[in-house]
Amino acid sequence: MAGPVRKMSEVMLKMAEHILRKSAEDTSDEAAHAALFFANIAWNECVGIDNPRNHHRKIWETFEASNPSFWNELKSNNTDALIDDLVRYKQAHYPEDRRRILICGMMPNGNIRVEWLPTAAPGVDPKWELQLYGLVRTGDQPGAIRFLRKTRGLSRNEAMKQVAAVATGLGIK
pLDDT, one tens digit per residue, over 133-149 is 999 999 999 999 999 99
Same domain, 74 and 154: no
- pLDDT bucket at 3, cuts 50 / 70 / 90: low
Residue closest to 124 by CA, chosen among 48, 52, 46 = 48
Task: Decide if 2 is inside a domain.
Answer: no
E-only strand ranges, 36-123: 100-106, 112-117
- pLDDT bucket at 95, cuts 50 / 70 / 90: very high
Q: Three-class SS of residue 9?
A: helix
**Is the pTM of the predicted complex or chain greater than 0.85?**
yes
Distances (CA, A) of 27 to 18, 37, 67, 68, 104: 13, 15, 12, 13, 18
Task: Give the per-residue pLDDT at 17.
Answer: 96
Question: Backbone phi, then psi, for 102, in 5-degree steps?
Answer: -90, -50
**Distance between CA 5 and CA 28 in Å, rounded?**
30
Domain that holds residue 97: 8-117
Same domain, 85 and 150: no
- pLDDT bucket at 32, cuts 50 / 70 / 90: very high
Same domain, 25 and 108: yes
Same domain, 18 and 100: yes
Same domain, 26 and 90: yes
Task: Decide if 74 is inside a domain.
Answer: yes
